[in-house]
Chains A and B, each alone.
Chain A
Amino acid sequence: MTDLAPQISLPSRILGLVIGLILTATGAGFGFASGASVQIVILAAIATLALFVWGWRYVLGQFAGPAVAAADGPSSVWQAWMRFRWPLLGLALILLAFLILSLTVEGFFNIWNVISLLILLAILVLTRTLGRQFQQNRSAFIGIMVLAGLFSVGSMNIEGFASGNNIKSMLLFASFLGLASVGQTLVALLGGLDLSIPFVIGGANVGLLYLISLEVPGWLATIIVLLIGALLGVVNGLLSYKLQAQALIVTLGTGFAISGGVQIITSIGSAYSGNVFGTVPAWLSNLSAMNGTTFGISFPPVIAIWAIIALVLIVGMRVTLYGRFLYALGVNRTSASRVMISELSYWVVMYALSGFFAAMTGCLLLGWSGGGFIGVGDQYLFLTLAAVVVGGTSLLGGAGGYGFTVIGVLVLQVLSSFLVGIGLDFEWQQFIFGLLILPMVALYARSPHIRTQI
């Protein structure tokens, strides 16, 4: 990016112009076909053309090196194609998808959707160009871009998307997911995985209500549950450390065992297997209910709890020695143990934290729902992983951090609320989640080719 107005070759400029014109003409045709007013169509057409041509020049300019005069090589059009085929193919794919949607869905082609498309394209262009500046935190940058884009598209298209209530509810659900993902992030930084999180959440959810129904005071019951969660985490940590590279399956096994064990304990002497009935204390409901208040301000305290924990974790991992050692261990465990970092203690502590926060999520979810249910954490099995991955923490360890996960959580939450807003069912949401994880992760988490690793 030394030259802000990079020169690209004439054929590629002409090619860009032609594609832009075709695009504009298609857009205008659709505009007239769907009976939009003339001004809007013209406005959209001009915007499309201008943005496309600008994006074309800007994007391709990034690739244009010093022109190599190939005397007897293939023609320059072919060269341009070879050089820019991937961005072009991606662009064509997006446009094709838009075209198909416009043709099939009635009323899809309106000014807001065109603007949304343009915003999406702008985000892509920006991430491809500006993203190069961020070698270290590219995933965070892309995450924030996607977040901004989604949010603006959502608030344009959906009534009440940017209203206070909706933002509050998005943050509420994000804080549950965020708290559940704390452990997953910490463990992923070591190069492990914790699939027992959903089972611990479910176990804590049922277990807490069970203790309350035994007339244990609410605060004591919560502390007991949190401690047990941490203890289970310690077991997970010890086992995962002993069985290196099997963390996935070990934690899955302990998860099964925890879920089964808790249910057996709670259903002894109860006629309703697996279902526990009791009254959730008012303070616990207030913590995580939608209409809860924090020191008189009307937002659920769980958001504040999440914010504080996130802040402590982010700052702590950046500035304390203990936090830096965590990264050291994730990057290269051999060299880390050479400088006297105890591998075992880190594994145990990180898994203990994971169990602790999973239990905490379970308790808070009890306050939110008001009834114990063992399967309450089931969706977090893959969502926590998705949040960590989308945020940009490497599952191989050593790169990332909780700040990234916060972004990942917010992206997933805004996306899901956007999809709900445009009237998609849960199954479609999941489908789109699945499809979107790939390109989002592909923007920054590609591993190097094998030939560079030898």
Chain B
Amino acid sequence: MTVASTQLHEAKGGRSNPYLLMPITLFFALLALAVLRAPSLMTSAGIGSAIIVATPLILATYALMASAISGRGTVDLSVGPLIGFVNVTLIQFSSAGLLESPLAVFLYAIFIGALYQLIFALIVIYVRLQPIIVSLSGYLALTGINLVILPRPGGVAPAFMAEWGYGTSIFSPVLVMLVLASAAWLLFTATAFYTHLRLMGSDERAAYTAGVPITIVRIGAHLISGAFAGLAAIAFTALISSGDPSQGTTYTLIAVTALVLGGASLAGGRGGVFGSALGALNLYLITFVLATFNFGAVQSFVTNLAYGSILVISLLLTLLIPVIQRYIRNFSPFLYFVALAVVVLGVILHGTFDYTAFEAASLPVGPMDLQASLIAPLEIAVSSPETEALRAQAAPLISAALLLVVIAVFLRVAFAQTDRRRIGPAVAVVLAALVLGGAWGMTQSTPDTEVSQ
């Protein structure tokens, strides 16, 4: 039953992925709860620090996802220690005066990550061990060597990333890194290589019989995973601004959890940056929401309990997906996302809106008069100065709304006209850019609201 429906789904391509239903719902539920509990999340600093804290986890989840798609039950347990390894070596090199420039640091991190994953892939391919055993071995070896390289937390991150971890504004280099990494994956999904990867992950024998070069595809998947792991290590280094041999190790279990929460399949063949990012953000939001409740000494225990229960419950809910699929044939995660986003936007506005300041300020419109509003359309309009003022105030808002509608229509048309099925990711990127633009606009206008608060 499940297998059949999965195959059905695979046949339809990546456009309708019902497995994104859970992460999207959970994300918006948690976001709404978080905003209601702590409206400070929706300030420039709140979002900025959220991005700084969540980015290493998101990138670590990407790293897991890239190799998990390749099938054979590749759950790279060693991703956490690998992040730790890059972190501690980076710190040691930079304190030795090497690796000062950003370019060198990035190249080094990505190179080490990719090198490790290359060895991983070669062992899986040629020695033909189960990937989980290789990753287990890598976990133990790297955890050990991390402690040898840097016995206790310390050291200073390279000078150029000293300010990255403050998280006072939304637009930090870490965000750029995250957006670029996501965009890179989305671009990658437009290639034939990606199709091969998913085919191999879903059914390796079929892929082999069909002539897919499975050796190269597997190596490629691992190289991508390694590059993501390197970026995750940089984000992690930026977050803690120092070296820590054991902190990185904890990312393994959280990232696996995030991967599964994001709707990816550990058996291979299914997964994407959208779901993975949502999964990681969900975990961050769980921690955030629970932190607002102030459980005192048992805080971390409650977090653990919530992690575990939400993970199990969301896994159980995936059992419902075949049932849902029977009724909703063409589920569009994208539309669902937009619909929920609108709802949650309302919640956010409600949560962050300063009603007292609004009432205190002199209103251009008075309380609504029913009779007047019914009669008014019938009368010949005479533009009073008040109406003019209202118009002038509303003009930017209306034009912005029109602009959004136009862009949406344009995208929809472009989407419909093209033969490529995979333009969806590009749409997501453009929309993300728009949302970011909106957020930027918010930050530009925040100073006066902050003053008023």
Chain A residues near B (Cβ < 8 Å): 239, 242-243, 245-246, 248-250, 252-261, 263-264, 267-268, 273-274, 382, 385-386, 389, 395-396, 425-435, 437-438, 441-442, 445-451, 453-454
Contact indicator A248/B205 (Cβ below 8 Å): no
Looking at chain B, what size class is its interface with the partner chain?
Answer: 35 or more
A386 to B214, CA, bound (A): 28
Docked complex: B279-335 residues within 8 A CB-CB of A: 296-298, 300-309, 311-312, 315-316, 318-319
Contact indicator B139/A382 (Cβ below 8 Å): yes
Contact indicator B136/A385 (Cβ below 8 Å): yes
Contact with A along B110-144 (1 / 0, CB 8 A): 00000000000001000111101110111111111
What's the least CB distance linking B303 to chain A, in Å? 7
Contact indicator A433/B144 (Cβ below 8 Å): yes
Residue of B nearest to A435 (CB): B141
Q: Which of B123, B302, B319 contacts A264 (CB 8 A)?
A: B302
A442 to B125, CA, bound (A): 12
Contact indicator B136/A446 (Cβ below 8 Å): no
Contacts A434-B138, A445-B133, A450-B204; is A243 near B127 (CB within 8 Å)? no
A396 to B303, CA, bound (A): 32
What's the least CB distance linking B348 to chain A, in Å? 29
Note all chain A residues with C-beta closer than 8 A to B318. 243
Q: Which of A254, A267, A433, A435 contacts B301 (CB 8 A)?
A: A267
Contact indicator A260/B301 (Cβ below 8 Å): yes
A-B contact pairs, 16 of them (CB 8 A): A252-B311, A254-B308, A259-B304, A260-B300, A260-B302, A261-B301, A264-B302, A267-B297, A382-B140, A395-B133, A434-B138, A435-B137, A442-B129, A445-B130, A446-B128, A450-B205
Contacts A382-B136, A434-B137, A448-B128; is A246 near B315 (CB within 8 Å)? yes
Binds A, one of B19-27, B160-168, B253-261, B361-369: B253-261
Note all chain B residues with C-beta closer than 8 A to A242. 316, 319
What's the least CB distance linking B211 to chain A, in Å? 13
A206 to B75, CA, bound (A): 31
Note all chain B residues with C-beta closer than 8 A to A264. 298, 301-302, 305
Is B266 on the interface with A (CB-CB < 8 A)?
yes
Contacts A243-B316, A431-B145, A434-B140; is A454 near B133 (CB within 8 Å)? no
Is B208 on the interface with A (CB-CB < 8 A)?
yes
Q: Which of A243, A260, A442 contacts B315 (CB 8 A)?
A: A243
Contact indicator B129/A260 (Cβ below 8 Å): no
Contact indicator A446/B129 (Cβ below 8 Å): yes
Contacts A245-B267, A433-B140, A435-B137; is A253 near B129 (CB within 8 Å)? no
Contact indicator B140/A454 (Cβ below 8 Å): no
Note all chain B residues with C-beta closer than 8 A to A396. 130
Contact indicator A441/B139 (Cβ below 8 Å): no
Is B428 on the interface with A (CB-CB < 8 A)?
no
Residue of B nearest to A245 (CB): B267
Is B209 on the interface with A (CB-CB < 8 A)?
yes
Residue of B nearest to A430 (CB): B144
Q: Which of A249, A259, A268, A448 contacts B257 (CB 8 A)?
A: A249
A426 to B296, CA, bound (A): 34
Contact indicator A438/B75 (Cβ below 8 Å): no
Beyond the given pairs A273-B298, A438-B129, 15 more chain A to chain B contacts, judged by CB atoms under 8 angstroms and listed by A's residue number, are A243-B318, A245-B266, A250-B311, A256-B305, A257-B305, A257-B307, A257-B312, A267-B301, A273-B301, A430-B140, A433-B141, A435-B141, A438-B137, A449-B128, A454-B205
Q: Which of A253, A257, A438 contacts B134 (CB 8 A)?
A: A438
Note all chain A residues with C-beta closer than 8 A to B123. 438
Q: Which of B144, B267, B301, B311 contacts A427 (CB 8 A)?
A: B144
Contact indicator B137/A249 (Cβ below 8 Å): no
Residue of B nearest to A386 (CB): B136
Contact indicator A257/B266 (Cβ below 8 Å): no
Q: Which of A250, A395, A437, A448 contacts B137 (CB 8 A)?
A: A437
Contact indicator A261/B305 (Cβ below 8 Å): yes
Contact with A along B193-221 (1 / 0, CB 8 A): 00000000000110011000010000000
Contacts A248-B75, A267-B298, A442-B127; is A451 near B208 (CB within 8 Å)? yes
Contact with A along B334-346 (1 / 0, CB 8 A): 0000000000000
Contact indicator B133/A250 (Cβ below 8 Å): no
Note all chain B residues with C-beta closer than 8 A to A261. 301, 305
Contacts A434-B141, A446-B127; is A255 near B308 (CB within 8 Å)? yes
Is B439 on the interface with A (CB-CB < 8 A)?
no
Residue of B nearest to A270 (CB): B297
Is B147 on the interface with A (CB-CB < 8 A)?
yes
Contact indicator A429/B144 (Cβ below 8 Å): yes
Is B104 on the interface with A (CB-CB < 8 A)?
no
Contact with A along B237-268 (1 / 0, CB 8 A): 00000000000000001001100100000110
Contacts A438-B129, A450-B205; is A253 near B305 (CB within 8 Å)? no
Contact indicator B129/A441 (Cβ below 8 Å): yes
Note all chain A residues with C-beta closer than 8 A to B133. 389, 395, 437-438, 441, 445
What's the least CB distance linking B336 to chain A, in Å? 23
A252 to B146, CA, bound (A): 24
Is B148 on the interface with A (CB-CB < 8 A)?
yes
Contact indicator A437/B140 (Cβ below 8 Å): yes
What's the least CB distance linking B24 to chain A, in Å? 19
A431 to B301, CA, bound (A): 30
Contacts A430-B140, A446-B128; is A256 near B307 (CB within 8 Å)? yes
Note all chain B residues with C-beta closer than 8 A to A430. 140-141, 143-144, 147
Q: Which of B139, B208, B304 contacts A434 (CB 8 A)?
A: B139
A431 to B141, CA, bound (A): 4
What's the least CB distance linking B154 to chain A, in Å? 16
A250 to B77, CA, bound (A): 15
A263 to B134, CA, bound (A): 33
What's the least CB distance linking B125 to chain A, in Å? 10
Contact indicator A428/B256 (Cβ below 8 Å): no
Note all chain B residues with C-beta closer than 8 A to A259. 301, 304, 308
What's the least CB distance linking B99 to chain A, in Å? 23
What's the least CB distance linking A430 to chain B, in Å? 3
Note all chain A residues with C-beta closer than 8 A to B134. 438
Residue of B nearest to A429 (CB): B144
Contacts A239-B316, A442-B129, A446-B127; is A248 near B266 (CB within 8 Å)? yes
A257 to B145, CA, bound (A): 30
Contacts A260-B306, A389-B136, A427-B144; is A395 near B315 (CB within 8 Å)? no
Contact indicator A447/B140 (Cβ below 8 Å): no
Docked complex: B418-452 residues within 8 A CB-CB of A: none
Contact indicator A249/B266 (Cβ below 8 Å): yes
Contact indicator A454/B260 (Cβ below 8 Å): no
